Amino acid sequence: MLKIYGRANSSNVRKVLWVAEEIGIPYTRSDWGRGHRDTNEPEFKRLSPFGVVPVVDDDGFVLRESNTIVRYLCSKHGRADLYPVELRARALVEAWMDWGSTDLYTPVRPVFLGLVWKSPAFQTPGVIQAGIAEWTRQMRLLDAELAANGPHLAGASFTIADIAAGIIVNRWFSIEFAKPELPAVSAYYEMLSARPAYRAHGRNGMP
């Protein structure tokens, strides 16, 4: 059985939980990371010396990095509807996944850690506001793309392109700060929310 190591309130762990539910993979999960067992403990370091979650153990095959885990699980279970086999369609999905984990996620971090976790390292004047400004810019780009080419990121159908972005979209609507109206993103959020796996691991009351 698939073993997932990582706390359920981690955005990256939630991506893996979401795809596991979409595919219907049985799994167990153990809490590691902030507020739980320390990933510097020898037990975790034996799995991954990098000390970050998520890590999965799939019948002895240990793998880290959330986007890679998501792609691996789709490929293993033959879910070409979620992760296309055709080269260009697959590249489009991967480009969106990379964007969701880099350009979109980077400005979220100071906002989330500053406003939600109240981390002292992110209370410097201007740090949170700079994060909000860049996050807003990226969300405007997302809104324009969805309006022009949606309803999903890779077109008509839900794919794992929507997983990395969908977790961050939930944070956008869950954290209190001044936001512009983004009608395409709002429609996208409601559309994703019709998926039981997103309700379980994305829009589940946690930012």
pLDDT in tens, 21-69: 999 999 999 999 999 999 999 999 999 999 999 999 999 999 999 999 9
Determine the average pLDDT of the residues in 123-145. 97
Q: Is the confidence at residue 187, as pLDDT, over 90?
A: yes
* 102 and 185 assigned to the same domain: yes
pLDDT for residue 125:
84
Q: Per the structure block, which two tokens stand in for 141?
A: 């780009």
Residue 207 is assigned to a structural domain of this protein: no
Rounded to whole angstroms, the Cα distance separating 83 from 66 reads: 15
Residue 113 is assigned to a structural domain of this protein: yes
Q: Range of 54's domain?
A: 2-76
pLDDT for residue 156:
94
Distances (CA, A) of 58 to 21, 46, 62, 68, 84: 15, 15, 6, 13, 22
Question: How many structural domains does the chain have?
Answer: 2
Do 67 and 164 meet the contact criterion of CB atoms below 8 Å apart? yes
* 125 and 55 assigned to the same domain: no
